[in-house]
Amino acid sequence: MAAKDKQRAKQLDQLLQRHPHLVQSDNRKVSSHVQREEGDWYLNTLMIEGCEAPFKYKRQKAYKSLAGAKVNLTYYPDQEQIAGLEFEVMRVVRIRQA
């Protein structure tokens, strides 16, 4: 393992220890990726194969499409209310291409 990979693994372990509610998923395939502008930010929504809940995160710049790519995700489950109905969403804290 390269020094850079060891450093990333150590940072991830520290993040998961500080926040036990976070979940880490590796090598998950993205089936759909949508970006839309929301003020000064881009709201990104991913759909992951085998999961019905959307994964959401924000970026300040547009990003290339991740559709079909394998990614490593760190996220936590959350509820979002739309038109009076509650939906389960996953809030992405960290995303990296696998």
DSSP code, position 93? E
Per-residue pLDDT, averaged over 14-41, amounts to: 88
Check: CB of residue 46 under 8 Å from CB of residue 59. no
Per-residue pLDDT, averaged over 1-25, amounts to: 76
For position 48, what pLDDT does the model report? Answer: 96
Asked whether residue 52 carries a pLDDT value surpassing 70, the answer given is yes
For position 39, what pLDDT does the model report? Answer: 93
For position 1, what pLDDT does the model report? Answer: 55
Q: Whole-model pTM?
A: 0.79
For position 24, what pLDDT does the model report? Answer: 86
Q: How far is CA 86 from the centre of its chain?
A: 20
Per-residue pLDDT, averaged over 5-14, amounts to: 76
For position 20, what pLDDT does the model report? Answer: 72
Domains of the chain: 3-97 (2.40.50)
Q: Look up residue 49 and give its two tokens.
A: 């194969």
Closest CA to 52 of 84, 24, 77, 26: 77
What HEC string does 17-79 produce?
HHCCCCEEEEEEEEEEEEEEEECCEEEEEEEECCCCCCEEEEECCCCCCCCCCEEEEEEEEEE
